[in-house]
Structure 1
Amino acid sequence: MTAQRQERNGRRRQNAFIALLSGLAMAGIALAAHAATTERLVADRYTGLAIGGFDPVAYFTDAQPLVGQAAFEAAEAGAIWRFRNEGNRAFFLAHPEIYGPQFGGYDPTDVARGVAVAGDPRFWLVAGQRLFLFGGAKSRDAFAADPARFAREARQRWPGLQETLAR
Structure 2
Amino acid sequence: MPNVTRRGLFIAAGAVGIVAIAAFASQRFLGGFEELAAAPVYAPKGVAIRGTDPVAYFTEGRAVPGTQAHSLDWNGATWHFANADNRDTFAAEPVRYAPQYGGFCAWAVAEKGELYSTQPDNWKIVDGKLYLNYNDDIQARWQDDIPGFIAQGDERWPKILQDGV
Q: TM-score, normalised by structure 2?
A: 0.75
What secondary structure, in the 3-state scheme, does the structure 2 residue paired with 1:154 have? helix
Q: Quick check: 1:97 aligned with 2:118?
A: no
Cα offset, 1:165, TM superposition: 2.8
* Partner Cα separation in structure 2 for residue 62 and residue 164 of structure 1: 36
- CA deviations over 1:99-120 (Å, ceiling 9, x no partner): 1010001111111121111222
What residue in structure 1 maps to residue 85 of structure 2?
87
Q: Once superposed, what is the RMSD of the aligned Cα atoms?
A: 2.4
In structure 1, the gaps of 5 or more residues are 1-18
Cα offset, 1:143, TM superposition: 2.1
What secondary structure, in the 3-state scheme, does the structure 2 residue paired with 1:81 have? strand
Q: Which runs of 4+ in 1 moved over 6 A?
A: none
Is the 1:37–1:118 Cα contact (8 Å) retained in structure 2? Answer: no
What secondary structure, in the 3-state scheme, does the structure 2 residue paired with 1:65 have? coil
Give the counterpart of 1:111 among 105, 109, 112. Answer: 109
* Partner Cα separation in structure 2 for residue 34 and residue 76 of structure 1: 20
What residue in structure 2 maps to residue 160 of structure 1?
159
* Partner Cα separation in structure 1 for residue 86 and residue 94 of structure 2: 11
What secondary structure, in the 3-state scheme, does the structure 1 residue paired with 2:131 have? strand
Q: TM-score, normalised by structure 1?
A: 0.74
Cα offset, 1:38, TM superposition: 5.8
The number of equivalent residue pairs is: 139
Is the 2:34–2:117 Cα contact (8 Å) retained in structure 1? Answer: no
* Partner Cα separation in structure 2 for residue 52 and residue 34 of structure 1: 11
Cα offset, 1:125, TM superposition: 0.9
Is the 2:39–2:75 Cα contact (8 Å) retained in structure 1? Answer: no
What residue in structure 2 maps to residue 6 of structure 1?
none
What residue in structure 1 maps to residue 49 of structure 2?
51
- CA deviations over 1:13-65 (Å, ceiling 9, x no partner): xxxxxx9xxx9xx7xx98x82623665210123xx111111000111111111
In structure 2, the gaps of 5 or more residues are 1-16
* Partner Cα separation in structure 2 for residue 35 and residue 86 of structure 1: 29
Report the CA distance shift for 1:37/1:77 in structure 2 as closer, same or farther (over 3 A). closer
